[in-house]
Amino acid sequence: MPRLRLALLVAPLLAPLTVVAGAATHSLSSGFRGVAAGSIAAIVLLTVVMIVYGAPLAYGGTICVLWPAAVLLREVDALSWWALSLIGATGGGILFPLYLHLLAPRATWSFFPGAGFAAGAVTGWGFWFIATRQASAADEA
């Protein structure tokens, strides 16, 4: 049970960090054009903004999609990293564009292609990793 709580608290934070890492990588590969203009200050600012605006969506998706999916998959003995990553990617691919549209209906967002899928997949994998890994002797002490 403590691992599940930790997974619910930490895994959703991987989504905005994935979008930031992807945006920075996309910016670097396109000659410093785009969201993260190549400076450390821009990346830090983007990280803060993505956590403030992205974390509520990531927490909602984790609680409403990943957690029930993990419980259901565990019941049928099919809980695996790839299943939760696929479910997370599908949820992120659907929810991320909808959320961006709700934030600013007339805005044009310029994230890297597949940002929602990547964020959801990483969150699903992180949830699985944190919730299912075995306790070590150091954790028990």
Q: Tokens standing for 51? A: 């956590």
Asked if the structure places residue 141 within a domain, the reply is no
Number of domains observed in the structure of the chain: 1
43 lies in a domain? Answer: yes
**H helices of 1-132, where?**
2-10, 14-29, 40-61, 67-75, 81-103, 115-132
pLDDT of 58 reads: 95
pLDDT computed for residue 135 by the predictor:
60
Token pair listed for 91:
């949820």
Integer Cα distance of 47 and 68 in angstroms: 28
Sign of the torsion angle spanned by Cα atoms 96, 100, 102, 105: negative
- pLDDT 10s digits, 15-42: 999 998 888 787 777 765 554 455 778 7
Domain-located, residue 58? yes
Q: Which domain holds residue 103?
A: 2-136
pLDDT in tens, the chain (141 residues): 689 899 999 999 999 999 988 887 877 777 655 544 557 787 788 889 889 999 999 999 999 999 999 999 999 999 999 999 999 999 999 999 999 888 888 877 778 889 999 999 999 999 999 999 876 545 555
On whether residue 6 sits in a domain, the answer given is: yes
Residue 26 pLDDT:
78
In 3D space, the residue among 89, 94, 83 whose CA is nearest the CA of residue 118 turns out to be 89
Identify the helix (H) or strand (E) that includes residue 79: none
At residue 104, the pLDDT reads 83
Q: Which residues contact 23 (CB under 8 A, 6 or more apart)?
A: 34, 35, 36, 46, 111, 112, 115
